[in-house]
Amino acid sequence: MLPKTPSFKLNGKRAFVPGGSRGIGLGCAVALAEAGAHVVIAARSADQVAEAVDAMQAEGFSVEGVTLDVTNLDAVQDISAQHKFDILCNSAGLARHSPALDATVSNYDAVMDINVKAAFFLATEVARNIGPDGGSIMQISSQMGHVGGIDRTVYCATKHAVEGMTKAMAIEWGPKNIRVNTICPTFIRTPLTKVTFDNPERLAWIQEKIKLPRVGEIEDIMGAVQFLASDASAMVTGTSLLIDGGWTAG
C-alpha cells in the first residue's frame, strides 16, 4: 500500500493569532482560515481588528476578533481559557531599532515585554488549556533569532530568547502532543518595513544578504503557517523554519 500525504486541513480547529490585524499576522490568519480553522484575531487597535475581520468574513472565512494588549497577562489568561485553542500563531511583536549604545531602558523594556514576556505567557496559557489531542504553537520569530543585525541588538536578543524558549517548551510539552516551533522570516515587505526598504543603504544590505533575487512578501509566510499548524508537520517540534531567502546560509 502506498503512503498517504498527511492533511494540511484544519477543519474543526480553533486558532489564535495575536498581532493578526495587519502585515505578517494578517497573512497568518488568512492562511489558517483558508485551511479551515476558525480564527480569532487579536490586536490592540479595535478598528484594525474590525477591518481585518470584515475583510476575512467577506471572503467566507470563519473568524472573529478581540481587542487585546498581549502584555496584559490577565486578559491573555482569560481569552485562552475561554476559547481553548488548538493552534497559536503569535505574530505580536515590536521593534525599536538603534545602535546598542543609544538604546534606552524604556525602549529595551517595551521590546522585551512584547517579544519575550508576552510570547512566553501566550504560549503557556494556550498550552495550559489545549485539548487532550494536543496542538501546534508557533511563534513568528525572525532570522535575527539566528544572526546579528545592524542597529538590532535588542531585537536580536528578544528573538534569540524566543528560539531558546521554543526548544525548551517543545521538550517539556512533547509528551502532551503539543508541538512548538518558530517561523523566522527575513525582511518582509509590509507597511512597517517601508522605512527600511526606502533607505538605499539598508536596502542594499538586505539585497546582498538575501541569496534569492528578491525580498520577502507576506505570501511567503503563509504556506509555512499551514504546514506547522497541520498534521503535515506532525513530527516537527522544537525547531525553526527559516524563510530568509538563504540569508543565514551565508
Residue percentage of the chain with pLDDT more than 70: 100
Phi, psi dihedrals of residue 7, rounded to the nearest 5°: -80, 140
Which residues are identified as catalytic? 155
Could you tell me if residue 163 is inside a domain? Answer: yes
**pTM metric for this prediction:** 0.96
Could you tell me if residue 5 is inside a domain? Answer: no
Q: How far is CA 157 from the centre of its chain?
A: 17
Could you tell me if residue 244 is inside a domain? Answer: no
Residue 224 and residue 233: Cα distance in Å, rounded? 10
Could you tell me if residue 9 is inside a domain? Answer: no
Give the residue among 195, 192, 108 at the shortest CA–CA distance from 152: 108
Say if residues 143 and 248 touch (Cβ distance below 8 Å). Answer: yes
Q: Exposed (0-12), middle (13-18) or buried (19+): which is 135, by Cβ within 10 Å?
A: buried
- List, in sequence order, every residue forming a beta bridge with 240; answer none if it has no partner: 182
The CATH number assigned to the domain holding 230 equals 3.40.50.720
Could you tell me if residue 7 is inside a domain? Answer: no
Could you tell me if residue 113 is inside a domain? Answer: yes
Residue 167 and residue 42: Cα distance in Å, rounded? 25
Specify the length of the chain in residues: 250
Structure confidence at residue 191 (pLDDT): 86
Report the number of distinct structural domains present in the chain: 1
| Residue-by-residue DSSP string for 185-202 | E--B-SGGGHHHHT-HHH
Could you tell me if residue 18 is inside a domain? Answer: yes
Name residue 66's amino acid. Answer: V
What does the pLDDT look like over 60-81, one tens digit per residue?
A: 999 999 999 999 999 999 999 9
Residue 54 and residue 48: Cα distance in Å, rounded? 10
Give the residue among 226, 221, 213, 217 at the shortest CA–CA distance from 243: 221
Cell digits for 249? 546560509
Residue range(s) defining the domain that contains residue 220: 14-238
pLDDT truncated to tens, each residue of the chain (250 aa)?
999 999 999 999 999 999 999 999 999 999 999 999 999 999 999 999 999 999 999 999 999 999 999 999 999 999 999 999 999 999 999 999 999 999 999 999 999 999 999 999 999 999 999 999 999 999 999 999 999 998 999 999 999 999 999 999 999 999 999 999 999 999 999 988 888 899 999 899 999 999 999 999 999 999 999 999 999 999 999 999 999 999 999 8
Give the residue among 35, 37, 125, 133 at the shortest CA–CA distance from 82: 125
- Please count the CA atoms within 13 angstroms of the CA of 73 that sit on its side-chain side: 11
Could you tell me if residue 2 is inside a domain? Answer: no
Residue 171 and residue 180: Cα distance in Å, rounded? 9
